[in-house]
Amino acid sequence: MSTEKRKIEVLIISDIHLGTYGANANELNNYLKSIDPNIVIINGDWLDIWNFSGNYWPPEHTENLFLILEFIKQGKPVYYLTGNHDDVLRKFSDFKMDTFELIDELVLELDGKSHWIFHGDIFDLSVGSKALWLAKLGGRSYDYLIRFNRFINNLLISAGKERISLSKMIKDNVKRIVKSKVSDFEKIACERGIEHGYDYVICGHVHKPQIEKIVTEQGSIMYLNSGDWVENCTALEYNEGQWSIFYYFHDFQFKDVVTETEEETTP
């Protein structure tokens, strides 16, 4: 890895879930040390307050906090947008200190384009008030599943085989089962974004890195998702008028990133 830091105009990361076994804090720390962003946006679930345990807080999680604090010390704007796993912080929304802001959503103008940025859980019925206890139970079970998945992957790698994602298999199956009963928050978010005249809507929440053009009867909008640092280890980067997804496990090996142009599709 090069010692020269890579310049980034805007960085968006989400769903780090510090305080859980699933958080890939070491990988995120390595990534943050390799870049020099002008603006940093943490789009929800940085701290996993739902599943936080006083018995687990390794040094790399503390280091992650200090790396973000270092950006603030350097005078870089750092926005922490609240998510569902850290929703308790919403009572402190609009808190500001130096270049740090704790907010629920952000509208950012970049090169003449408006970007509506928020975590996404507000349009997800599965984490609504009536289903909150089930969502929290699922979050804790998910953390245990990630730990078991890593054990399995270590065995597979030692045997020369590829990794598998048990959590992705389960989530995909669950989505197929409940698809007709729950609202697609991505579709709703894009519809709201079009109604308000935004050019981009950017979320986290679903742990699925994505860049896609969404077209409806009301118009079109670019939908972006920053993914997560539990399974995918991805970030959204903005440079020279272009968004791209950085994949930690691929791009440090000099493989191409997924760019906005390549991923534009019309359903």
Token pair in block for residue 203: 């979320």
Beta carbons within 8 Å of 44's beta carbon, 6+ residues apart: 14, 15, 81, 82, 83, 84, 85, 86, 118, 119, 120, 121, 204, 205
Tokens of 171: 């989530």
Region 6-10: mean pLDDT is 97
68-72, 243-247, 263-267: lowest mean pLDDT where?
A: 263-267
**What are 118's two structure tokens?**
């928020």
| Max avg pLDDT among 205-209, 212-216, 233-237, 253-257 | 233-237
The band of 192, judged by pLDDT with boundaries at 50, 70 and 90, is very high
pTM of the model: 0.80
Listed residue (120, 119, 114, 260) closest to 198, CA to CA: 114
CB 213 within 8 A of CB 235: no
Q: What is the DSSP string of 100-136?
A: EEEESEEEEEETTEEEEEE-SGGG-GGGSGGGHHHHH
Does residue 137 carry a pLDDT above 80? no
Range of lowest pLDDT (10-24, 139-153, 188-202, 247-261): 139-153
Number of neighbours of residue 107 by Cβ within 10 angstroms = 11
Average pLDDT of the segment spanning 224-233:
94
The C-alpha atoms of residue 168 and residue 94 are separated, in whole angstroms, by 35
In sequence order, the 6+-apart residues with CB closer than 8 A to the CB of 150 are: none
CATH class of 6-124+181-263: alpha beta
- Where do the DSSP E strands lie in the chain? 6-13, 35-43, 78-81, 95-97, 100-103, 105-110, 113-118, 200-203, 210-216, 219-225, 234-239, 242-247, 258-259
Residue 148 has a pLDDT of: 63
Q: Would the pLDDT of 136 be above 90?
A: no
Q: Which two tokens stand for residue 132?
A: 């909150």
Instruction: State the average pLDDT for the chain.
Output: 83
Give 73-107 pLDDT, tens digit per residue: 999 999 999 999 899 999 999 999 999 999 999 99
pLDDT of amino acid 56: 87
Q: Are 250 and 240 in contact (CB under 8 A)?
A: no
pLDDT (0 to 100) of residue 15: 96
pLDDT at 254: 43
Between 72 and 52, residue with greater pLDDT: 72
pLDDT digits (tens, 9 = 90+) for 15-47: 999 999 889 999 999 999 999 999 999 999 999
Joined together, the tokens standing for residue 111 give 């090169």
